[in-house]
Amino acid sequence: MYFSGIQPTGKMHLGNYLGAVRNWVKLQQPGNQNIYCIVDLHALTDKLTIDHEIKFNLNTKSDTLSLAATLIASGINYKQSIFFVQSHVPEHAELQWILSCIAPQNWLNKMTQYKDKKKEYSTLGLYTYPLLMAADIILYQAQYVPVGLDQKQHIELTRDYVQRLNSLFKLNIIEPQYLESTCPKIMSLRDGNKKMSKSDTNDGNRINIDDSKEEIFEKIKRSKTDSIPQIYFDQEQRPEISNLLRIYQAFSNMSMEQIINKYMTKTTVDFKRDLSELIANELNTIAEKKKQILENQSELEQILKQGSLKAREIAQQNLKLIKTNVGL
């Protein structure tokens, strides 16, 4: 069983697509059970952030519908996979509470995502984010979790919780495994030290699924590269061009060797133009489909409701088992 989730914060971007979503689509094969979730409760850690200026973003519901449409347009098959919204299945929050009562606090202190994201006014929700993620996974007894590299540590933490639950309460829950895509970490376009992210305030750092062809060309053109004119892959010495090459490879299905040969005598400008074309072809098709799907909002809501009913059936069964064993 494959389980994964994505937050309805900001706009879905190229990193989400190549690092996670395209892999989710590929994993939808006969014989596989796939459960994909829009994790709106996780998104509250961003949307209800208390900062110096308190500015709440209360658009989670419409952002959820927009993301649902994007995911279906990307190839998530809601008939074959279970596709639903986290807050429609209250068992996620319930299991999180139980986990929080068996989880040593110092396990959470080690989480690098929290260390990166925390600010002066960070909430408890941001801190316990990995607990909710563990609950998401354990609730369906997922075996594989296809996510980007930034989430690997959270999967390892989930394994620790599973081991603890199993040994303390004589349970037999499956230990989930991190499943990597071919692009586990797409970097920001102008800041090679940061991963491409929805929460990045600089839109030029990221390609959004909804970007127009012109925006994609402009962003790739302005993406940071070094002064070496040749095009070749070298992750250590040349992280920026290597990031672009990896994206090229993902969209072209060519081998790295074929790509390097193709651009041997060409310029970075040529390479960037062809890359933009490849990206725009695939993403613009998705954006077009998304628009059509969003035109029928009630149908989309119905799809998500059906998905949550199916998810809830599994969640309730697994939660019941855990509750019984912890003495509830």
What residue ranges bind ligand ADP (CB under 6 A)? 6-7, 9, 15-16, 19-20, 147-148, 150-151, 183-186, 195-199
Q: Residues in the chain, how many?
A: 328
Task: Point out the residue whose Cβ comes nearest to Na ion.
Answer: 150
Catalytic member of 26, 61, 110, 117: 117
Q: Any catalytic annotation for residue 55?
A: no
Within 10 angstroms of residue 59's Cβ, the number of other Cβ atoms is: 11
The residue (of 150 and 160) whose beta carbon lies closer to Na ion is: 150
Of residues 199 and 297, the one with the C-beta less far from ligand ADP: 199
Smallest separation (angstroms) from ligand ADP to the CB of 37: 11
How many Cα atoms sit within 13 Å of 172 on the Cβ side? 0
CA distance 77 to 83: 8
Residue 9, contacted partner among Na ion, ligand ADP, none, CB below 5-8 A by kind:
ligand ADP
- 11, 47, 195, 219: which one is catalytic? 195
| CB 275 to ligand ADP: min, Å | 17
Of 24, 45, 44, the closest CA to residue 36 belongs to 24
Q: Which is nearer to Na ion, 63 or 94 (CB)?
A: 63
User: What, of ligand ADP, Na ion, none, does residue 145 touch, CB below 5 to 8 Å by kind?
Assistant: none
Cα-based distances in Å from 28 to 32, 47, 155, 174: 6, 31, 21, 21
Do 57 and 64 contact (CB within 8 A), yes or no?
Answer: no
**Which of 150/240 has CB closer to Na ion?**
150
Nearest residue (CB) to Na ion, 155 versus 303: 155
Q: How far apart are CA 191 and CA 212, in angstroms?
A: 22
Q: Smallest distance from the beta carbon of 108 to ligand ADP, in angstroms?
A: 17
> 263, 268, 282: which is closest to 228 by C-alpha?
268
Residue 285's nearest CA partner among 82, 17, 65, 9 is 17
- Output Rg (C-alpha) for the chain, integer angstroms: 21
170 catalytic, yes or no?
no
Min CB(42)–ligand ADP separation in Å: 7
Catalytic annotation present for 152: no
What's the min distance (Å) between Cβ of 182 and ligand ADP? 10
CA distance 173 to 206: 38
Site string for Na ion, 126-165 (x = CB under 5 A): ------------------------x---------------
Q: Any idea what DSSP says for residue 88?
A: G
Point out the catalytic residue in the list 47, 198, 272, 290: 198
* Cβ 183 to ligand ADP shortest distance, Å: 6
Residue 28 contacts residue 150 (beta carbons within 8 Å):
no
Q: In the complex with Na ion, which residue's Cβ is closer, 150 or 274?
A: 150
Q: Which residues of 146-155 are buried (b: 16+ CB within 10 A; e: fewer)?
A: bbbebbbbbb
Residue 223 contact, options Na ion, ligand ADP, none, Cβ 5-8 Å cut-off depending on partner type: none
Residues making contact with Na ion (CB under 5 A): 150
The catalytic residues are 117, 195, 198
